Amino acid sequence: MSDERTVQGTLAGHKQNPEDNEFATPPEIWRPLSRAVGGFDLDPASGAEPTPIASERFTAEDNGLRQPWHGTVFCNPPWSSTGDGSAKHDWLQKARNEANRDAVELVVVLLPADTSAHWFHDHILEADAICLVGPGRIPFIGENRNPSFQLSISVFGEVQRPHLDALDKLGAVIRGRTVYESAVQTRFGGDRQ
């Protein structure tokens, strides 16, 4: 018998519960990005990670959606408030708005790579850089298996070469709706230039 608070659907092979909606970001994802930006200043959706990702953290009680952001920001937001995906839309809208403020250099957002969702098309595809993490999948801290979905890392703000290099080590990078390739360039037909 299911708990009434449990939302139908799965995430990492288990049912989502809007009251327990935090998944701790694996260090394999955030550490290379942190090095590339010289350390994150703010994590506006903190709480699940055993190790702080940023020097300042907003927890659920602080409500990072209602706070002004600053500096370089890493955000692994709650993925579902009611099971309808509205949390993703709200956090992505906030990320885009904050990235346009002078007080914010860069906003990095970790979410599922759900290309069928409206929030993905409305917000993720407007990012200055997108990384589709993989191949392979990295488990969240405390999970005993890999998630059943691919992750995306969206970057809003002025993306520099070190940021692209860090993203490139995590997966396929799309920038300006084109694929970023760090490897040796080839001509049409496969010959090296």
pLDDT in tens, 104-141: 999 999 988 888 888 888 898 899 999 998 766 665 55
Structural domain that includes position 137: 15-180
> Per the structure, how many domains does the chain have?
1
Q: What is the pLDDT of residue 5?
A: 31
- Predicted TM-score (pTM) of the model is 0.76
Q: Do the domain assignments include residue 5?
A: no
Per residue, what are the HEC states of the chain?
A: CCCCCCEEEEECCEEEECCECCCECCHHHHHHHHHHHCCEEEECCCCCCCCCCEEEECCCCCCCCCCCCCEEEEECCCCCCCCCCHHHHHHHHHHHHHHCCCCEEEEEEEEECCCCCHHHHHCHHHCCEEEEECCCCCCCECCCCCCCCCEEEEEEECCCHHHHHHHHHHEEEEECCEEECCCCCECCCCCEC
Higher local confidence (pLDDT), 28 or 82? 28
Q: Do the domain assignments include residue 193?
A: no
Q: Do the domain assignments include residue 1?
A: no
CATH number, domain with residue 26: 3.40.50
Q: Do the domain assignments include residue 187?
A: no
Q: Do the domain assignments include residue 190?
A: no
Given strand 178-180, what is the order of strands in its sheet?
54-57, 40-43, 71-75, 104-112, 151-157, 129-133, 171-175, 178-180
Task: List, for residues 34-81, the tens digit of each pLDDT value.
Answer: 999 999 999 999 876 778 899 999 998 999 999 999 999 999 988 775
Q: Do the domain assignments include residue 173?
A: yes
Token digits for 151? 């992750």
Higher local confidence (pLDDT), 175 or 193? 175
Q: Do the domain assignments include residue 43?
A: yes
Q: Do the domain assignments include residue 2?
A: no
